Structure 1
Amino acid sequence: MSAYFRSSPQYGHQGRGDVNLYKLFTELCVNLLREGGVCGTVIPSGIYSDLGTKDLRELLFQKTQITGLFCFENRKAIFEGVDSRFKFVILTFEKAGHTQAFPAAFMRHDVEELEYFPQQTGLSISVDLVRRLSPDSLSVMEFKSETDVQIAQTMLEFPLLGEKREDTWNLSLTNEFHMTNDSHLFKTSPGPGRLPLYEGKMIWHFDSRYAEPRYWVDEKEARKAILGRGGQDYGQTLDYQRYRFGCRSITGTTNERTMVCSVIPKQVFCGNSLQVSVHDNNELDEQETVFLNAVMSSYCVDYSLRQRVATQMNMFFIYQTPVPRLTASDPRFMPIVTRAARLICTTPEFDELARAVGLKGYQEGATDPAERARLRAELDAMVAHLYGLTEEEFRHILSTFPLVKEEVKAAALEEFRRQANTPLPALPLSTGSGGKKAVVRTPREVKTTTPPKPEPNPATPIDRLEPDEIMCAIRQVFQAQGPLERDEAIKAVARELGYNRTGPRIQEVLDAALRTAVRRGILGNQGGALRLLVRSVEGYQREFLKEQFLSALGGRQWTEREEAIRAFARWMGFARTGRAIEETARSLINGLLREGRLQAEGSRVRRV
């Protein structure tokens, strides 16, 4: 049955994930309606939020006029035998034209409210706002008031975390070990050569010792599993040997907090109930990891996320969160980093991190509960000011956390008022022999066009090569040689780039580049070996190419169309822009302009 539904032309908008009856039913309703026909249906709330229903939302936006989206929880047991927390939606639409805006109401408990919807209850949500807030999934946020809409628009002044940018740091997340599939690696007691396995329940905000570990993993076995079949272990630094940002993947909108995150110490592995950062191109350094953790721990970000999620903090929700990506050159950066570091660095495993941000060591960490409460209030207020919120908006955000103690919320609001008049300075940093002065990094270069690429040669350090230059070399190698084991691929790409030997740094950079090539759809895994997925640009699905084109553009700066086409080609590993690529790219630009995801000004375009 599953194969039939996936191949049937009448169910062409089922998207990713498992076949689901409510998804099939919704598409069938659209297909059966005549022009001007009206449909009303009661279905699970995943229709407006889940990534797997993105294509259905696009169908409804483009081919129908949505006349109502009324969401209610089953708190009053409207449906017997169904969990009280389960959410349903009454969806109504007319098969005519397309949707520019639609009335919506969320988190209702009484179906009698339908009598007053949408005239007296609910609010209007524009499709343009949905596209701006969730460009990759078109998920509809659960706004409950016009204030929610205004706050979302204010926070959108900053780029989404999933947007890859060349001018600052980026975030990529992964799951390291699956708690079921990899359970044969887990030991129930510590021992020589074993490292702890971290789970989501072990962390809280600024606290990586919230609970004790249940399992340990043999380091050698774990390295072999991480590197995969054919992966060569030459002692390279892997992610578990670095400080990482991590967040719980199991959550709930009715919990005290929805986003729970912390900095994960070095020398630990993580189960899939934790999503952890990956070190890749434009990777986070120690200071930026602490900064990211401070922002993601804030009430502002938590408030934004709990309007999207249900019980799973999926990566795509995190990637669609707008976050200020400050670096140490910004005067607002270090005041946040130093306070967050004092909350994080309270135990010996964080001594290196403490020194990296300018403290003498973990002994300068804040362990007194009153001092920790003060620092957290300062951080929450600083992040709220960073987003440019008003006092009324911040008060509204705090009011959406009913399980947080009132004195905690009052302290954050009072600190917000104080900082509005007198911004807090950075905490003093150590300069004596016991610590080192924090290094202030210069801002990464902002690129508005793609500069000419130097011809690779053995004298050019691998770190100075453009990432897209390596992508082109990867495509060239696999077009000529076919499937390769990972270590063979690294050597072949190194030779293509002009390196006769592959030292540790070259291997580390090229290994990361191969993983990036998989994410971009250039390569795929086949029985443990890597292979070229598609030889020409015409072989890719159009929607996938749209996302890659936007990623290739980077930030929201204006770019000449011809330069944008060349950047897209190299992003996908094509060294030259032939007729097929140019025609495809121009078609993508036109489509993205129609969808409102690109803006045009003469011969220039930019992301919206």
Structure 2
Amino acid sequence: ARRLKRENRDQRRGQAFLPFDSHEEIDLFAGRYAQFASLRDDTPGQVREKAAAYQRIRAEGSKWWQESTACHLWTAAFFQRMASRESRMETEAATSGHSPFAIGYSPLITTESLRRYLQTQAADGRLVGQAWHLASRLRFFHWPLEFPDVFASGGFDVVLANPPWERIKLQEQEFFATRDPTIARAPNKAARQRLIRELPERNRQLWREFQERLHDAEALSKFLRQSGRFALTARGDINTYSVFAELIRGLLGPQGRGGMVVPTGIATDDTNKDFFTDLVAAGGLASLFDFENGEGVFPAVHRSYKFSLLTMSRTAVPRAEFAFFCTRSEQLKDAERRFALAAEDLALLNPNTRTCPVFRTRADAELTKHIYRRVPVLVNEQTAENPWGIRFMTMFHMANDSGLFQTAPADGLVPLYEGKFIDQFDHRHATCRTAHAIRGNQADRVTEEEYADPHFSITPRYWVPHEKVEAKLSHWPYRWLIGFRDVTRAVDLHTCWFSVLPRVGVSGKAPLIFTTAPERSLTPCLIANLNSFVLDYSARQKIGGVSLSHFIVKQLPVLPPERYTPAAIEFIAPRVLELVYTAWDLEPFAKDMGYDGPPFRWDEERRFRLRAELDAAFFRLYLPEEANGEWRTANREDGGVVDETPEQLAELKRYFPTPRDAAAYILETFPIVKRRDMEKFGRYRTKEAILEIYDAMREAIRGGARYRTRLDPPPADPGVAHPPREETS
């Protein structure tokens, strides 16, 4: 394959274009189609004559057939099998069951063979036959040849589509689900690969079918990535809906519009950022209306699935319209749910990807924009600003690294933590206590008795070699980590779940972040910030799917280190320490934070109060107010990202007269938190406690004093810690 690639590159050198004038060819066919279209079809005889005329245009040897052959040759080059003559003969023999010497050898399509055909209409018949065979089997479709009259006028006026939503990469479990369930149900990728390697011996026909499907998927990926047809969407793990979106955009005429039903990820996912950014920058986005399938608009699709009505325009649209979280089409008439965003708004909210946030209402849009005018994103790739020195790591992939996983502890192995095991400020949220949990990819909640034991540590599903973990963490000098749940949704109890972890193995569903903050005492501030309600609210405006991906975390509004005064650090650090340090396995973290005592007892009521005080403090940091309780305008002099205009502030105040109103509103956007409080206490206790502390902080500031906690003993007091290690039995 490398030799053929080198030969093809040499053939392309010195000649930038193939001898083919697409405009001239399209005009020629458009004229012939116009003659064909002018034929009458009022009688059966006229219909037969019109059909015969159509067939003459497309008959073998015709100009249309010759150009189709050229297009087939060009496309087939991506789908032909690339191997040496001997290897290809052996493969074809294995597939057909014949001797390699009985197999006819078909040469490979190259740039030179296509150029020769375009110049002379003469080519090796085996090449032409191979091209037409692949075109028939894979259904090649050349739009200008099928619609020459449309493309002669610049493209379609309207394109409507509900394209397939499928990954290009062959999904092994899906392929084998009905063909060989044993392979599909293999416990991990390593086990599945072992079973697939055994297929030639026990089911040769299925092996051949799998190899053909695998080749087709890889060839399609190669075509999409290398053909130049899909420069904006052939990225990452390609999905067909993205490719169709780029295709349809390119099919539109000068005044054309295209409407599609696609997953909302077209506007929110990192793999689509180049397409969406280009679409918005060119003014090509007319509207994006997001729906949840909760009321079964698509009965065969899961009720939790999100999709959007995407409308694209060839002529520029100054401000695109948006609506999110709709369940019925009539909700698009609600003026508070339907709003406009400009390109500069997307640049403010998602500077790295320019992808779209997912606002439920205009109020959410205005409040989130205010937050982003005041607070910078965690990592700004456009300006290279990274005040926390953040790095991300996915330590072990559950599929690709499954060969390392062991199902029982042993010398030289350490636990493999997964996202389901952690909660906010809690590295012992769940454990695999039962065989059912281990087999079912589930976890058991940790009990009150287990939380009360500072020596208790979770039991994972898997263990991994300690040396592999240390090799991954060679750059990190500390005996603790910071991880978060990747799997999450905007409608869950919380969306951001960050915690400190022991120095162990960690799966890809619990990504790690590393910080080079100038002082270790700032680390608790970062952890508290990432678990705060106000940041969680901002994250909910970003997640259109079920993953808190790196690109989303980078674009969350996170207070930079310089925003924390010594008084703020003194307030935050002990509260985070008491919340996090509840077991001996995090003793290294406590010592690095300057605490040399035993872990703190798990006390649900104290933890509730500690978190309420932290959340009240972060509401005041994110939504500062003037002395009279009015909004403080965001501006660069005050550390803001941009200067807020009077018009922008007036629009914000239309929904939230004061910052306290905004804090109260944010807390109402966590319905599961509210429902649990109502069921247990008969009132929304979390909201009441946070706002009560918020008001107490305001009064303390007005009086020139510090806020005094109602916790007794105060946060991280030795009186709420376990006995020292030597006193335990």
TM norm structure 2: 0.53
Question: Which residue, out of 587, 590, 605, partners 1:351?
Answer: 587
Residue number in structure 2 paired with 1:41:
260
1:239 and 2:476 aligned: yes
Question: Which residue, out of 82, 91, 103, partners 2:321?
Answer: 103
Question: Which residue, out of 68, 76, 80, partners 2:299?
Answer: 80
Q: Relative contact order (C-alpha < 8 Å, sep 6+): which is higher? A: 1
Provide the rounded CA distance (Å) in 2 between the counterparts of 1:342 and 1:150. Answer: 36
Q: Higher helix share goes to which structure?
A: 2
1:367 and 2:602 aligned: yes
For residues 376-397 of structure 1, give each alpha carbon's deviation from its aligned partner in whole angstroms, at most 9, with x where no partner exists.
0001111111112511111111
Shift of 1:412: 1.7
| The 10-residue stretch of structure 1 (319-328 or 292-301) with the greater mean CA deviation from structure 2 | 319-328
Residue number in structure 2 paired with 1:394:
663
Provide the rounded CA distance (Å) in 1 between the counterparts of 2:312 and 2:507. Answer: 42
The 5 Å alignment of 1:122-521 reads: 122-156=338-372, 157-163=374-380, 168-211=387-430, 212=458, 213-224=460-471, 226=472, 238-239=475-476, 241-265=478-502, 267-278=503-514, 282-283=516-517, 286-309=520-543, 310-326=545-561, 330-363=566-599, 365=600, 367-388=602-623, 390-404=659-673, 405=677, 406-422=684-700, 423-424=706-707
Provide the rounded CA distance (Å) in 2 between the counterparts of 1:147 and 1:425. Answer: 33
**Secondary structure at 1:88's aligned position in 2?**
strand
Provide the rounded CA distance (Å) in 2 between the counterparts of 1:167 and 1:122. Answer: 34
Shift of 1:223: 3.4
For residues 17-44 of structure 1, give each alpha carbon's deviation from its aligned partner in whole angstroms, at most 9, with x where no partner exists.
2332222222222212122222222221
184 and 329 in structure 1: CA distance in 2 versus 1, 3 angstrom threshold: same
Whether the 8 Å CA contact 2:288–2:321 is kept in 1: the answer is yes
Shift of 1:254: 2.0
Amino acid across the alignment from 1:111 = S
**Secondary structure at 1:337's aligned position in 2?**
helix
Provide the rounded CA distance (Å) in 2 between the counterparts of 1:190 and 1:379. Answer: 38
Amino acid across the alignment from 2:496 = M
Residue number in structure 2 paired with 1:480:
none
Amino acid across the alignment from 1:124 = A
**Secondary structure at 2:511's aligned position in 1?**
strand
Shift of 1:241: 4.7
Shift of 1:343: 0.8
Provide the rounded CA distance (Å) in 2 between the counterparts of 1:150 and 1:185. Answer: 48
Provide the rounded CA distance (Å) in 2 between the counterparts of 1:254 and 1:166. Answer: 31
Whether the 8 Å CA contact 2:613–2:690 is kept in 1: the answer is yes
428 and 177 in structure 1: CA distance in 2 versus 1, 3 angstrom threshold: closer
For residues 319-339 of structure 1, give each alpha carbon's deviation from its aligned partner in whole angstroms, at most 9, with x where no partner exists.
001111225654322211221
Amino acid across the alignment from 1:341 = L
342 and 313 in structure 1: CA distance in 2 versus 1, 3 angstrom threshold: same
Rg comparison, structure with higher value? 2
Residue number in structure 1 paired with 2:84:
none
Shift of 1:134: 0.7
Amino acid across the alignment from 1:70 = F
| The 10-residue stretch of structure 1 (376-385 or 332-341) with the greater mean CA deviation from structure 2 | 332-341
**Secondary structure at 2:570's aligned position in 1?**
helix
Amino acid across the alignment from 2:660 = E
The 5 Å alignment of 1:519-558 reads: none
Whether the 8 Å CA contact 2:388–2:517 is kept in 1: the answer is yes
Matched residue pairs, number?
A: 415
Residue number in structure 2 paired with 1:461:
none
Whether the 8 Å CA contact 1:241–1:268 is kept in 2: the answer is no
Whether the 8 Å CA contact 1:255–1:403 is kept in 2: the answer is yes
Residue number in structure 2 paired with 1:538:
none
TM norm structure 1: 0.64
Q: Which runs of 5+ in 2 are unaligned?
A: 1-219, 431-457, 625-658, 678-683, 701-705, 722-729
Whether the 8 Å CA contact 1:335–1:424 is kept in 2: the answer is no
Q: Which runs of 5+ in 1 are unaligned?
A: 228-236, 435-608
Provide the rounded CA distance (Å) in 1 between the counterparts of 2:541 and 2:301. Answer: 22
Whether the 8 Å CA contact 1:286–1:357 is kept in 2: the answer is yes
Residue number in structure 1 paired with 2:242:
23
120 and 415 in structure 1: CA distance in 2 versus 1, 3 angstrom threshold: closer
Residue number in structure 2 paired with 1:463:
none
Provide the rounded CA distance (Å) in 2 between the counterparts of 1:286 and 1:421. Answer: 31
Provide the rounded CA distance (Å) in 1 between the counterparts of 2:577 and 2:243. Answer: 49
Amino acid across the alignment from 2:461 = R
| The 10-residue stretch of structure 1 (182-191 or 314-323) with the greater mean CA deviation from structure 2 | 182-191
Provide the rounded CA distance (Å) in 1 between the counterparts of 2:366 and 2:390. Answer: 26
For residues 327-379 of structure 1, give each alpha carbon's deviation from its aligned partner in whole angstroms, at most 9, with x where no partner exists.
5654322211221111111222233433443444234x352221111000001
